[in-house]
Structure formats: structure tokens, C-alpha cells
Amino acid sequence: MKTIVKGVLLCVAGLAALVMVMLAGPLSSTSAGSTDDQGGVQGVPPEYEPWIIKAAACQHPELTPALMAAQIQQESGFRAQAGSHAGAQGPAQFVPGTWATWGRDADGNGRNDPHDIGDAVTAQGRLMCSLIGQAKASGLRDDPRRLALAGYNAGWGAVQRFGGVPPVTFAGGETYHYVRIVMASMTKFEARPGGALSVRGSGSGPDALRRAARYIGTPYSYGGGTPEGPGAGFCDQRNGYANGRCAASSTVGFDCSSLVQYGYWPSLQLPRTAAAQFSATSDRPVARARLKPGDLVFWSNGSGIYHVGFYAGEGRVLHAPRTGRDVTVEPLDSAMPSADYYGATRP
């Protein structure tokens, strides 16, 4: 930030310890310049990826992992020990005064340090989320991402002063070019596994699907994820293992029900497990022929519901199949055993 102004049943298949997950998150805003397909993140150093994904879990869908990655690239080139003549520090280039407001010991190492990747990236996410909120509430007629980036670089006061992104004549064009470069370079960090997902319509269902679809490409993590975003999971006697080791405890992601919970949480506080989510919404069943984007689809193996996902339109479901797989969009008929399809509800 080269600030010029500086001012109990989760999602478990009863077969060979098959863990089923449903992942999803906000896609795009309806503002000019945003897209309906944001995907995950690619092309970043591996030590940054989980923190970027976690930090992008903002209530404003405009803040995507790709936007954050492009911003870090411009700020520091992903150099944790980067510094500037203006006193900015670390990969997200925080000056001491701004760090005092937004910095936290996010990685739990006992230090609140702008050079720590986890601390810096999560602080960047909190600040950008706040700035996007200000931009959307400001009434300024520009992409809120551009306005937020300008506020990050030059301070929100400069955005207010100029009624938008400061012009090229301001501060030698630093903020103007900063915004232009970050916006232009986002696409190279966008990962789109599983095909594009375009979400149309309004209302709680499409909004929940958009909120969840941000995490396409994010790994499944048994027991992982909260209403605040992805998180590491855990292993029990059967689930969360890959190649004989506990993968869930070191994997930042969601399981099927935590992602559904995350998607709906801003407007509806669903319970944590797939079975409980069905019970909470079973009074609003939906026939398969009448499914709409954002409806919840459930599978049962006869001994209980083991999986939940978002109906994604066009006969598809957005979900993460099991440990070792990433979130993807698949045909509803083949995402899980077709005989196990139990029904759908509309929260």
C-alpha cells in the first residue's frame, strides 16, 4: 500500500470413507466491469494461496482472490520483506499508522507483523473489504473495485476529493496507473476449473450461489470452513485422509454443509450439518423439475443424508466431491450416485 495520503453428520458417504463436500461463494457484483465467473486463484506462490483465499472471504463479492493476488503483485511482487521509501512494509505494503488499525496476528505465531504473509494478506483483505463497502455506499459512478484500489493506494480522502479515481495529474500518476495495472492484471490470476459458471437472477438463492461460487477450485476439507470463510478441517476415524495421512487438518477449504452455510449466512443462518440443513428447510420442498439456482439438493444412502450442494442451473450442481478433489460444477445426475438423490429444498 504505497499510500500517498497514508492517512454430526458433516458430508460423509457411508461407503469407503467417501467424504462429500459442497463448496461455493460469491461470484460477481452487478457493477460495471465485474464478471459472473470469478473462479479461484492461480499463479501465486504456494505460501500465499491459502491466505489469499481466506482473506477474500468478504461480504462484498467484488473482492476476489484474483483481485487480491494482482494487488499483491503490484505492491511487492510477492516479496514478504519488501519495503519502500515511504515506510511501507511487507507484501501488502502497509505503513505503520494503517497497520496499527488493520494488522492482526492472523497466523498465530505470536507476532503482529506486516512482513508475515498471513498477517499481511488478511489485513489487506479486511481493508479492501471495508473500502469496497465504502465505495458501494458512496454513490460514486465507477467500479467499486477501482475506487477501493485507489483508496488503498492514496487514501479514501483522495477518492472523495476527486469524486473517483484520482487523475493522472495527481501524484505523478501513481494512483491512476496503480489502479489501471491491478485491474488489467487480474485475469492472469483467475483459475477457472470445472468450467465457467454464470449466475443470473436475484434473490436469496442466486445470491447464495454467487457467494459460494467464488470458491470453485478450492480444495475440499472435511470439517473445514465457517460462516466467515474457508478454514482447516480435521480427521475422524474414517474421513479427511489422503494417501494415509490426515489431509484435512492442513487443507484450507470447506466441506459440503459448511459451504452451504457460508453461502446463505448473510441472510439466513442455516445449521452446520447436511442433515440439519435438510431438517431446517424440509418444509419448503422443490420438485426436481422446478429447481432454481441456489436451491439445496441432498443425497442419502439410506442411513441418513450424507451430502448437500447448490443447484447451479442447467441440470448442474456446484460441489466438491471428496477429500483430494477441488470444488467443481458437475451434472446433477453424475455428481453423486443417481440412486442416492433424495430431494431438494428452497431455503
Provide the pairing of β-strand 40-41 with 190-191.
antiparallel
Number of Cβ within 10 Å of residue 29's Cβ equals 20
HSE of 1, CA atoms in CB hemisphere, 13 A: 30
92 grid coordinates: 501488502
202 grid coordinates: 436475484
Report the chain's C-alpha Rg in angstroms.
21
Q: Which helix (H) or strand (E) holds 134?
A: helix 117-138
Nearest residue to 213 via CA among 27, 67, 49, 53: 27
Question: How far apart (Å, rounded) are the C-alpha atoms in residues 2 and 130?
Answer: 18
Single out the catalytic residue among 47, 49, 62, 75. Answer: 75
Q: Are 189 and 177 in contact (CB under 8 A)?
A: no
- Is 228 part of the annotated catalytic residue set? no
What residues act catalytically?
75
